[in-house]
Structure formats: structure tokens, C-alpha cells
């Protein structure tokens, strides 16, 4: 781990400050440091400390990319990493994130551990999303969390049909459908009533959003299948695909959506003693009483 | 009940046929019958049987308006009725509706009861929705079921703040917020996880859609308050108001939404022996087992 | 407000200490103070400061009863108050309660306001629960929060039938059924998926616990009806009634349970500027993010 | 498949009749048939048609055991099969079951397919449940669906702590905790708000029942871990373990519960063209509208 990139949440002054601090520290440790062009400028980091690159290519040929920001920055960095196989390490600037588990204060001590080869690498499933229109592939995209088909603002609802490996599963009328990886189970899917899925499980989660049929419950299906979602031809003319909650794409009636596990995985770097459940506990306040009246 | 209007779901051939049948029967009973211009044409109903009027004005000065279609047609008819006070009677053409409780087959026997003054009138709360932009009222509308603020397809989420009678209630980040009358509790609100509220209760229901904060549960507030929803200025620039799921209206950041019970109520006509709970049972299949494995 | 009783959570040393402090302060203000016999002993409070009485009769002829403890102590105090009409004021010793809204630190300043006649009295619905066995009344009890019918540990499930004012509502197979007042909506009912109901609403909430039929959703019914729950004769021989989560009672197959609003109400004393929603916000952490991954 | 056992729901006359019919038919096809002693007597089946055995040993050395009854009979048969490896085939006598997928009418045609070697065998995870009291193992049991720790009728709630592979996961206060296999995800777990998990997934599902902390959501954890549930010493003295919803066992404070995947699996025999999702669709009425008002 000597050639390290940094991707920064530019709109956050603390992230810029932390980027400068980390770049200097890494440089001092003898590492080669690469930051984004925008961070170089905004954080005023000298070229002798860190070279700069476009965010889209920064991850190529790096040993590690450190993400300084929040979970949204991590997701964006994941797009930059793409299929390069470069591992990511997330440092949050405010509250602990599901993806950015290292606090600002622990940044340098954690990095010292990493440079001393004390860390573990966890592989996270990526979903490959393909849109087919009239049998023609018009988009292919990798997501870490989820892809969502959602009715547009003008539409009353979405009508779609799901099949897996050519086996019909169900048709539904709903506001939308979330197709999530285990990593995505704690993102949008959780808001829509989905369960928490441990990130190492080989499964894909289907969670309908506000389904008309009340028994249309979240379902976890085998991770090796090919999921096909077909939009009803009689559906509204106003629907949209979202990729990791950040990129949108308009859909048309009759569009087909293919989702399967990518052969590529995201490599996430963690502290050697990191515990997945402690992140859950802190994010969801499991230790505290967030709830009902206590009669005792 | 001698001067009777009929509002018809034009796209449904059965509804047109039933309209012709009912118009003739009512004419034979000596009633004055008024149908919509479109129904007159599409169902080929002679002028001597029924006069015709625009749907928007048909309800004025009628003793009763019969709706032939589904719940969507009933909602549309409710808009026509507006503040005239004319009662509505709903006849469904397919499956039983929450609002159209009379089946096609029971149409004439039910109408015979009505003409013989054997019926009951139930009053349903209407919500008055006002949009204020920069302190200027830009829209005022009555709804029977609900009004929904929803993030647009391009937006990540909606940020809003709710207060009631100038008392701050909560702020939330979510896909949207449903403000429903008791009648609306079995419509969209139910899909979003809201409870069933008996239609006679004096309450307004607030149901967040996919809230980020998992403890943001549905809440029923007093029906006499004025609910103010303010869209965050830092929110997305892509959000929308829906009125009874049929009419949409684009919202801007900082728009204020005022919701309160209207002084007008919808008068709904029911068979004398009608039971609210039997409709629920049939719609939600409470009698049957729609659910989990039975170990017995 | 010169004749004031205090009911104390005896197992909490802080509550005993606060009781002594409050008794002395009230005595100094010229009030007549009555505490429970146990508190007098455990907190070592002199007879010249406060007389003592059994908890069951302490509320009789008092101007006010102050509850020092948690929500469970408040519920127990509510039983002591019974139908006397004496108002209650709750002071929590640890975390804010839904019923004990005044913090330990604010105890004396709040009491000073009360003695100066600056307060408001809120009336809370009480439910009257009657058990009938073979047409004979075998128990009658008032509850503030809820009454719950629950299958016993040995039973597979409970089978019951609900009717309201002699109108059949539904039959269900479930772990149990919660019948809650609006006050109880933030207690056990919330854990079972029920909505929050503003305490001033005239409604009773029916919330099935783990129903086999997934569409058996919580329902809020008119507060003036008489709810009859009949246990199926074919049901298990192992079921139980709970009253406010504190008192239990074994039920037999065929037992009938009648629940209606009592003519008595609980009078709860609040600070003049008290806001119901701020309690909700704090208890449910609505201000904070207790939830899903944030992509921004 | 020549040596076939039959396990029958004795309380169901149709099941007894079907047992006689199947025994005769199998005997005619040249199979060796074994039925339970009770079925032999109740269905009056001659010894030359079928030998009889105790239900507990009937599955030993059989090629196949056919279950005639409902899902509860299947679960009971699963206990008889134990670790013998004998596959099960379920025939329901009334409504389609999650486990008994073959209808009464399709019994003989399905069996003809089976005898002609046209079928598939699906392996289902079994959970091994061990109770330790003061470091001593006091019970070991296999379950197909789930094991549930539940507060007793007298208790207010259960307090427990979960760890997996010696890693602390969470502590909770709730009515109980369901630990379910994927097969069990459509049983009790579904009633308690759990997701549907495809039966081939290698995961164990933890679903709290009515948790006080509202963010305590269902979680699917890796199927290879050892789950340890420890009952709080300060908990109630009234709690119980249930095994597959049929067997109960009283627990004491401080008891430890170990749950892990058994090395044994249940082998379930299906028709060659069987589709898991079609069972879900039929059981949960996904094709129909079981839900909200439709505005169209």
C-alpha cells in the first residue's frame, strides 16, 4: 500500500482539510499520493505532496483509494473504481456511515495500521444492471447498493412483472421496486421496509415500494440468478430507473431490466478488528431505547 | 330522490351498458335523469330518457348522483359534486370498491330501496388543501382521500417540516408525505404502512413514505387543526403535490402547504343495512388465510 | 393545589431522594403533603413534613398526586387514583417518559408553577374492561394504556372474533390482540406496528399481534362503541388478559371481553407551555437520523 | 422408490381416506408400504396392503415418506425422519401448504411420476438448537422452520443478548425472538414482519417479536455461524422456547441458546416441474388485489 489515491467530498470544508492533512502525512510516510484535480485546487495542496487526476480515472493502478466524505462520496468513488479492483477505504467527516466507518479522528491511526499491513479486505457484491429496449441493450451499469424502478411524479403507479432465470415470480402494482445487494439492504431498502442482509450473503433483495397488494413482502432470492423486470405495456408513460440513488434514467413502457451479480466485486478495506454489527448498532441506536413506553 | 344524475366510467363498456339500463329504469319510475354528454353519446341514450350535462356541472341541483364505475370514477365524481352537497351513491362494475360498494347485480334493487326512502346518508370529511408560494395563495382544492407531497423522479428525497396549529411537530427526510382523511386511510396510505381509520373519526392522518428515520411512524392528529407542511429550502428542486391521486401540481422549494378539514363534507348514500366492516373484510380478505404457514 | 400526595418508585434510590426533597419543599410552601407508608420509611421522611397513607387510598381527597419514577410508576399511580378524579403529574427519574414528562431537574420549578396556578389539565380516556364468563361478569377494570389478550406460552395461537356495537368486525388467528386508548398508542401497540394516535382523539385502537393473515392491519375505531372480543371455543386452553401491562388474568375458551370508554377520565397535569409533539420527537429521536444510509 | 412410508394426519377423515387409497395403489404398483399403527387402525387398512410401524421409527430405511395432511403434519413427520435422510413428499388435504404442495387430486399422478423417477430432490437447511444451563447441555433438537424464545404470559418482556461466532450483535427487550431457517421465513417469521427468504439461501434469519426499540429490524445473517442467545439474568422468570411451533420448553434466566445449521438436511421431494414462486403467489394471493383502494 504505497500508491494511494484520495477522493474527497468537495462541498465539505472539513473533508478538504482532512484531505490536505492525509496527503501530507502519506507523503511523509513515503507514499505516492494522488488526489482529484478539484481537491488539489480547493484544498490548495502542492504538487510535490500529491499529483492530481480526474476522479473518473484516479483509481486506476492505485493500491488503495481513500474516500473522505460521507456514504454518498463512497458510492461516487465506487463508480470511479469501476472494474479496476482497487480497494476503497471510507473516512466519514460527520456521523459514522454504513460505508465510511472510520471517524475523522481515527484517520491517521487507521492509515498507519493500513501501511503496516494490518487490515482486512472484504469483498462486496456489485449488481450489473442492463436496460433492454426492443431487444436492444441501451444501458449497462454497475451498482453497489441498489437499482430502483420508480413511477414518475405524474404517474399513479408502476406496473411490472418479475421473473428469475425465466421463471415467473410475480407481477405487481406499486410505487416502485428496489433491487438491492446485501450492502444496499441498509440503504433505501431499509426505508421501504426491507430486512437487513449481512454483506457476505449471496443474495439479491427485491423490495416493492408501497405495493397495492399488501402481501407483496420483501423477498431475498439467490444471488446467482438473472432477474428480469418487465414494465407493463399498459403502465404509465412516466417511470424512471435510479442507479445507487445518484444517477437517473427515463424508462419506457415495455422496457426490460436485467439485473445480475457482476463478476467484479468491490474490495473494501477495513481495520483488522472491525465488527460489522457494531456499525449497525451505532447507526440504528440499538443500544438505546428508541421506542415505546416502558412500563417498568 | 326524484332528480338523479349519473356519472359513468366511459372507458368501461359495462358501465355504459349499466348507465343505459339505470337511466331507462329511473325514467320508468318517473324520475328526472341527467347523464354526462359523453355517456349520452357513447351509450346511445335517447334525450327523452335522460337529459345530458357536462360532468363538471351535472351534480348541481340534483337530489342524488349515482356513480357507475370504480373508486377512481367515484373520486372524479366527488370533484364534480364539489361543494353542492349532492349525495353520491357508488356502483362498481367489477370488484367491490371501498367507495363503490354496490355491485352491478344489486344496482336496481338498491335503487328501488333508495327511491322508497330506505337508505342512510353518511358524511365524509373533505380536506381543503391550499398551496402558498411566497405568502401568495396559488391553489386551493378539496380532496376526499388524500394529498401527497412526493419527491420527483430526479430527486433523492424530500425534506419537509410539519407543524400543526403553529406547533412544530417534526421535520423529516423521506420520499414523501401523505396527508389523508379517514376515508383515504384505505387508499394510498395503507400501501405506505398507515393504519385503517374508521371514516367517522375526526382525525387527519400523516403517513411518511419511506422515511430515512425509521421511527417516523404514521400519526393520527386532531381533525380540527391546521396542518402546515413547509418544503425545505435546501430540498431538491423537483417535488410534486398530488390531489386524490388524480391531479398533480409541481411544487417549489419553500412552498407552504396548508391542510385542514373543509367545512363542506361529502354526503355518501348507503343501503340501510350497510356495514362498513364487511367492506373491509371483503377487500382485505380477512376471512381467508392470506398469510403464513399453518402448523396445525 | 395545597393538598398534595406523592407516589414513589420505591426501588429507585433517586426517586426516594427526590420524594424527600419535594416533600420538604412543599411543606415549606405551606402545603399538606401525603406520601406512601413505604416511601415514608424508605426515604426516612418525618411525620411533621408529610403524613403517610397506603398507596391504594392516597389519592382520595387530594388536590394533586405527583408521581416520582417512570411510566410504570405512573400507570400504577393511575390505578390508585381510580375514579377519584385527582389529577396526576409525572416526574421521571431517568429518561423522559411518555407519561412522566417533567425531568428531575425541573421538578421544583415546575411545582412552583403549579402552586402558582400556572398549568393545564389534560383529560385522558380510560378504557373499562369487563370479562364475562358464561354470561357472568367476573372482572371489571380500568386501564389507561391498553388491555391485551395473548396466547399463553404453550399455545400455538389465539383465535378470536371482534364485534363492535353488535356488528361483526373480523375474526383472526394471531399471537394476540391489543385494544389501546390513544394514550396507549405509544406503549405496547407501537411495538406491534400500531400508529401514533393523538391523546385527545375519541378513538380506540385495535392492533393484532403477529396475525396469520397479513392484511389484518391496525384499525382505529370510534371511541363511543362497545367492543366485544370473543375467544373461540376451539382456541387453545391457554390464554391470558393483561391490563396496562402490569396485571394479568387467565382467560378460558369462550370468555367474552367487553371494552368501552369509561365515563371516568384521567386528569393529567402539564406545564402551561407543554407540547405533546416535543415528547414524541425526543422519545423517538425524530430530530436525529436513526436510519438508513444517506447517499448525499 | 419402492419402499414407501406414509404419515397421516389422523384427525382428518379425508387424510385417512387418502392414506387407504394411496396404500392400495402403491401396493398394486408393487411397492412395499408402511403406515403408522394409528392410521392402520383408523383407516382400516389390511396388513397385506401395508405393514405398520410407530410414527417415530417409520421413516427408518424407507426410500420415501409421503405426508398426508397439512404443513403441521409435515413438520411432525420431519421430526420422525430426523437424521435418517429419508426424503419427504407432502400432500395437502385442504388448502395448498408451503410444505405440502401436492393437492389431493394430484396425489396419484404425482406418485406415478415419482415411481417413474421423474422428480427432483431439494435439500432444506435444518437448525440444530442446543440449550445450555450453567454450562451443561440440557436439550438438543433439530428444527425445520424456527425456534422461538418468547416471554411467558406473566412476563412483561424478554431481555436477551445475541452474539454470532463470539461477536456481540445486539441486546434487545421484546416479546421474543424468532430464529428461522429460510424454510421458516414463510411461517411465524412472516407474521412478525420478517422477509421471505428463498429456501436455497445459506442464511439464518433473526426476527424480534414486538421489540421495544423500533429500529430492531429483521436481519439475515450468514448460515455458517453459531448464534448464541443469552437470556438476561435480570429478565423475567417466565420465558419459553418453542421448537417448530409444536414443542415447548421452559427457560430460566441466564440460559444460553446455541443455534447453528445442522450437518443434516431435510430432503424434500418435488414434482420435476415444480416452481417455488408459484406456491408463494398462491399462498399470498399475489395475483389478486388484496389491498388498497384503486383510483383508476
pLDDT value, residue D119: 96
Cα(C57)–Cα(C53) distance, integer angstroms? 7
- What's the distance, CA C1 to chain centroid? 23
Distance CA D291, CA C216 (A): 11
Q: Give the integer Cα–Cα distance in Å for C19 and C68.
A: 7
D296 occurs within a structural domain: no
Q: Tell me if B187 is assigned to some domain.
A: yes
Task: Supply the pLDDT for residue C234.
Answer: 63
What's the CATH code of the domain at B25?
Answer: 3.40.50.10330
- Please, what is the average pLDDT of chain A? 93
Residue C54 burial (10 A CB sphere; 0-12, 13-18, 19+): exposed
> Residue A289 falls within a domain, yes or no?
no
In this predicted structure, what is the pLDDT of residue C167?
94
What is residue A11's DSSP assignment? Answer: T
User: What's the CA dihedral at C74, C80, C82, C83 to 10 degrees?
Assistant: -120
**Is residue D102 pLDDT above 80, yes or no?**
yes
Residue B142, in any domain of the structure:
yes
Q: Which residues contact C197 (CB under 8 A, 6 or more apart)?
A: B203, B219, B220, C180, C182, C185, C203, C205, C220
Which pLDDT score is estimated for B59?
A: 95
CB contact (8 A) between residue A292 and residue C145? no
Phi-psi sector, A241: left (phi>0), alpha (psi -120 to 50), beta: beta
Count CB-CB contacts under 10 A for residue A85.
Answer: 11
Q: Residue D248's pLDDT band (boundaries 50, 70, 90)?
A: confident
H or E element at residue A28: helix A13-28
Domain that holds residue D202: 126-263
Task: Give the Cβ contact number of residue A61 at 10 Å.
Answer: 11
From chain A, the residues in CB contact with D218 under 8 A are 195-196
Give how many domains chain A has, as a whole number: 2
Distances (CA, A) of C289 to A76, A290, B174, B253: 22, 12, 11, 22
- Please state the rounded mean pLDDT for residues D182-186: 97
Q: What is the pLDDT of residue D291?
A: 72
Nearest to A291 by CA among B208, C207, C187: C187
d(CA B247, CA B245): 6
Quick one: C160 and C134 in the same domain?
yes
Please count the CA atoms within 13 angstroms of the CA of A244 that sit on its side-chain side.
23
Could you tell me if C259 and C134 lie in one domain? yes
pLDDT in tens, D107-120: 999 999 999 999 99
Any domain includes D239: yes
- Side-chain half-sphere CA neighbours of A142 within 13 A: 20
My answer on whether A80 and A140 are in the same domain is no
Do D141 and D227 sit in the same domain of this protein? yes
**B186 close to D (CB below 8 A):** yes
CATH of the domain at A235: 2.60.200.30
**Does A134 lie in the same domain as A257?**
yes
CA separation for the pair A159, D274 (Å, rounded): 26
> Does C210 lie in the same domain as C166?
yes
In D, which residues are within 8 Å of B10 by CB distance?
none
pTM for the whole structure: 0.96
Q: Is B219 on the interface with C (CB under 8 A)?
A: yes
| Residues pairing with A162 in the sheet | A170, A229
Distance CA D58, CA C185 (A): 51
- Per cent of chain D over pLDDT 70 is 97
Interatomic CA distance for residues B144 and B75, integer angstroms: 7
**Contacts of B among chains (3+ CB pairs under 8 A):** A, C, D
Residue D147, judged by CB atoms within 10 A of its CB (0-12, 13-18, 19+), counts as buried
The pLDDT tens digits for A185-240 are 999 999 999 999 999 999 999 999 999 999 999 999 999 999 999 998 765 568 89
Residue in B72, B215, B292 nearest the CB of D295 = B72
C-alpha distance across the termini of chain C, in Å: 54
**Co-location of B22 and B78 in the same domain:** yes
DSSP state of C110: H
What pLDDT, in 10s, does the model give residues D41-55?
A: 999 999 999 999 999
Report which of D251, D258, D270, D147 is spatially closest to residue D209, judged by C-alpha positions.
D147
On whether residue A163 sits in a domain, the answer given is yes
**Judgement on whether residues D248 and D278 belong to the same structural domain of the protein:** no
CA of A193 to nearest chain B CA: how many angstroms apart?
Answer: 8
The alpha carbon of C246 is separated from its chain's Cα centroid by a whole number of angstroms, namely: 10
- Residues from chain A that touch B154, judged by Cβ atoms under 8 A, are 240, 248
Q: Does B211 touch chain A (CB under 8 A)?
A: yes
At a CB cut-off of 8 Å and minimum separation 6, what does C168 contact?
Answer: B275, B277, B278, C161, C162
Tell me the ipTM for this assembly: 0.94
Give me the residues of C, 123-152, that contact A with CB < 8 A.
145
Question: Do D137 and D249 have their domain in common?
Answer: yes
Q: Is residue B291 part of a domain?
A: no
| Distance in Å from the first CA to the final CA of chain A | 54
Q: Measuring CA to CA, which residue among C220, C193, C208, C217 is closest to residue C160?
A: C208
Q: Which residues of A touch C71 (CB under 8 A)?
A: 293-295
Assess contact for C207 and C175: CB atoms under 8 A. no
The model's pLDDT over A230-264, given as tens digits with 9 standing for 90+, comes to 998 765 568 899 999 988 899 988 899 999 999 99
DSSP string, C68-109: EE-HHHHHHHHHHHTTS---EEEEESSS--SS--EEGGGHHH
Within an 8 Å CB–CB cutoff, is residue A246 touching chain B? yes
Q: Is residue A50 part of a domain?
A: yes
Q: Are residues D139 and D67 part of one domain?
A: no
Q: Give yes or no for C156 touching D (CB within 8 A).
A: yes
Note whether A101 and A154 are same-domain residues: no
**Nine cell digits for residue C176:** 394476540
Question: Catalytic: which of B42, B63, B71, B294?
Answer: B71
Closest by Cβ to A292, choosing from C187, C214, C244: C187
Q: Given an 8 Å threshold on Cβ–Cβ distance, is C277 in contact with B169?
A: yes
CB atoms within 10 A of CB C21: 15
The alpha carbon of residue B226 is apart from the nearest alpha carbon of chain C, in Å, by 14
Kindly tell me the sign of the dihedral angle through the C-alpha atoms of A65, A84, A52, A32. Answer: positive
Do both C158 and C256 map to the same domain?
yes
Q: Which of B131-140, D203-212, D230-239, D264-273 has the lowest mean pLDDT?
A: D230-239
Q: Per-10-residue mean pLDDT for chain B, 296 residues long?
A: 95 96 98 97 96 95 96 94 95 91 95 96 97 95 96 82 95 95 97 97 98 95 97 76 91 93 96 91 84 70
The neighbour count for residue D188, using CB atoms within 10 Å, is 28
Sites in chain C below the pLDDT cut of 50: none
Tell me how far the alpha carbon of residue B214 is from its chain's centroid. Answer: 29
Give residue-wise pLDDT tens across range A89-112: 999 998 889 999 999 999 999 999
Report the pLDDT value the prediction gives residue A95, as an integer from 0 to 100. 84
pLDDT at A234: 63
| In the block, residue with C-alpha cell 431499509 | A190
Instruction: Write out chain D residues lying below 8 Å of A170, CB-based.
Output: 277, 280-281, 286-287
Amino acid at each position: 500500500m504505497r500508491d494511494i489515491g484520495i477522493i474527497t467530498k468537495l462541498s465539505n470544508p472539513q473533508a478538504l482539510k482532512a484531505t490536505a492533512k492525509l496527503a501530507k502525512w502519506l507523503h511523509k510516510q513515503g507514499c505516492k499520493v494522488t488526489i482529484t484535480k478539484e481537491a488539489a485546487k480547493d484544498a490548495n495542496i502542492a504538487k510535490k505532496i500529491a499529483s492530481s487526476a480526474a476522479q473518473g480515472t484516479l483509481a486506476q493502478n492505485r493500491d488503495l483509494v481513500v474516500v473522505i466524505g460521507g456514504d454518498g462520496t463512497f458510492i461516487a468513488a465506487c463508480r470511479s473504481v469501476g472494474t479496476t479492483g482497487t480497494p476503497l477505504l471510507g473516512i466519514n467527516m460527520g456521523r459514522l456511515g454504513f460505508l465510511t466507518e472510520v471517524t475523522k479522528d481515527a484517520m491517521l491511526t487507521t492509515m498507519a495500521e493500513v501501511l503496516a499491513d494490518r487490515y482486512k479486505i472484504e469483498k462486496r457484491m456489485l449488481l450489473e444492471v442492463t436496460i433492454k429496449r426492443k431487444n436492444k441493450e441501451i444501458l449497462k451499469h454497475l451498482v453497489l447498493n441498489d437499482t430502483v424502478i420508480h413511477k414518475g411524479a405524474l404517474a399513479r403507479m408502476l406496473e411490472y412483472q418479475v421473473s428469475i432465470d425465466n421463471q415467473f415470480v410475480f407481477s405487481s402494482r406499486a410505487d416502485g421496486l428496489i433491487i438491492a445487494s446485501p450492502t444496499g439492504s441498509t440503504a433505501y431498502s431499509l426505508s421501504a421496509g426491507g430486512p437487513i442482509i449481512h454483506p457476505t450473503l449471496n443474495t439479491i433483495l427485491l423490495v416493492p415500494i408501497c405495493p397495492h397488494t399488501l402481501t407483496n413482502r420483501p423477498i431475498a432470492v439467490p444471488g446467482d440468478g438473472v432477474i428480469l423486470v418487465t414494465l407493463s405495456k399498459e403502465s404509465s408513460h412516466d417511470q424512471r430507473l435510479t442507479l445507487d440513488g445518484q444517477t437517473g434514467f427515463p424508462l419506457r413502457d415495455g422496457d426490460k431490466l436485467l439485473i445480475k451479480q457482476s463478476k467484479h466485486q468491490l474490495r473494501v478495506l477495513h481495520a483488522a478488528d472491525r465488527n460489522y454489527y457494531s456499525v449497525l448498532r451505532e447507526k440504528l441506536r440499538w443500544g438505546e431505547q428508541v421506542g415505546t413506553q416502558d412500563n417498568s
